Amino acid sequence: MVERAGIYFRRRDVLAGFTASLLLPATARADDMPSDCAPIGVSGKTPVPYKPDPTLPVRVRKSAFELSKSEVDRLKAAYSALRNLTKTDPSDPLGWLRQGYVHCWYCGGGSNGTQGEEIHGSWRFFPWHRAYLHFHERILCKLVGDDTFALPYWDWDSSGRQTFPSVYGDPDDVSNPLFDMLRSAKPGSIINPQVVSAPIMNKTMNSRNNSLFMGSANSVGAMENSPHGPVHIWTGDTSLQNANSDMGILATAAQDPMFFAHHGNIDRLWSVWLGLSPTHKNFDDKAWRDHGWQFYDENKVWTRITISQVLDTVTSLRSTYQSPTPKPIWTFKPVPVAIAAAETAARTAPPPLVVASNQGQAIALGTAPSTKTVALPKERARMMAMASASAPQSYLHIRGIQVPPDAQAMFNVFFGLPDASPSTPLSSPNFVGTVAVVAKSKEMHAHVHPAINATFDVTGVLQDVKPNSELAVTFVPIAAAGQAPTVSTATYQEVVIDHNA
């Protein structure tokens, strides 16, 4: 552990000790990859079931752009106290370092190859992060002695708020406990439109069902794909070319206080999406609702909370969101209830159409746009049957996406536009969505992370497929606006179209 002006930096365990500290130049940056981020002091402990406390006030989370001076001061005091816990005792499970390790443990693990349950790439993403925000926030409440303390959120989906919030970088030095020296984004940095823009948010917030928006047991959801992943990558490196700590690496992302503002907005948008339509619902699946995780609460009690306990934020978690003042950059277009009901009921459809497959072997994505096609009219009858009233929803599945743990990937997906490029506007009707994979770690390690499956609604573009043409699915790897990445190590196994989300 190295201290520099009140900010504490990780060092690889093998470098710990007096001798190593003598070898560290005064200007060097300490290693930013945890070795072992397993929960500390839990061996043999039986977790205590979580119980809501109805006597607590409801904490109101506000936009980081709308905090009063006293709220900013309180936020900085909370994170200063959190950092001081680590300074006093690096093994304190409530301290800044160990709080960051909570995310590391559940999101790929440290460099020693051990990790907890993976909570990315599936329907576990939303509820786990909500629980994490809750326990982290309650720890900060106790540190400042104020049960009304609430984490702010960065509403990058609001008009005019694609600029990095100044409170997290003003002053832009280590005297600010909200500052992160490894962060590429600075106050005044404006998010790349490939990361957050109206077309991206329209796709995400208009997801028709919970499997599309939240993911499924084995598929990533729209929000996690984008803008969640791209904002992580951009904050770590605004050029989008490199997997940089802290935010651009899942193992270190929660070492940046911005992590909690970013995920606060994602959590807020989960609630917003549920309120947009009566057809937007959480899963009824009992296995999903009964699933849970362990966290240290503000009193250092090892606590288990289930997904069912995080669904009612006011009653169970005692938190809510104050809506931001500006209007969102996205527009919701409700699906008529009759159509939504028909889509839910429809189950008869032709067999899946395989657009690309290499018999279970990896297909390299590359750095340049690539297109997979199926000749028509050979497959036209099956495609038109998929777009018929008997199966009104059609989905594009990209399965088996893999990226080395120390690498990232971002690519846009276009349907029926084989000449798509990094400069193709996302307002194109052929744009169906973005796949973003945030790097797990700063370095290669032994354990292999599960492949990612992504699903997109292509009902509208499929219905526009013309006779005697080719069905084309185009992948466009992206970095900064209009640019391709310099390196790509991403692969996938198959591309399939069918009627099941």
Report whether 485 contacts 410 (CB < 8 A): yes
In this structure, the number of other CB atoms found within 10 A of the CB of residue 473 comes to: 24
Domains along the sequence of the chain with CATH: 30-321 (1.10.1280.10), 346-498 (2.60.120)
The string of DSSP codes covering 14-58 is GG-SHHHHHHS-TTPPPP-S-S--PPSS-TTPPPEEP---TTSPP
Give dist(CA 495, CA 473) in Å, integer: 9
Q: What is the pLDDT of residues 49-106, one digit of tens each?
A: 999 999 999 999 999 999 999 999 999 999 999 999 999 999 999 999 999 999 999 9
Report whether 366 contacts 457 (CB < 8 A): no
Give dist(CA 286, CA 289) in Å, integer: 5
Ranges of residues in the chain whose predicted pLDDT is under 70: 1-32, 336-350, 376-392, 444-448, 466-469, 481-482
**SS3 labels along 239-252:** CCCCCCCCCCECCC
Residues sharing a CB contact under 8 Å with residue 101, sequence separation 6 or more, in sequence order:
34, 37, 38, 39, 110
pLDDT at 8: 45
User: pTM score, two decimals?
Assistant: 0.91
**Residue of 198, 339, 332 whose CA lies nearest to 274:** 332
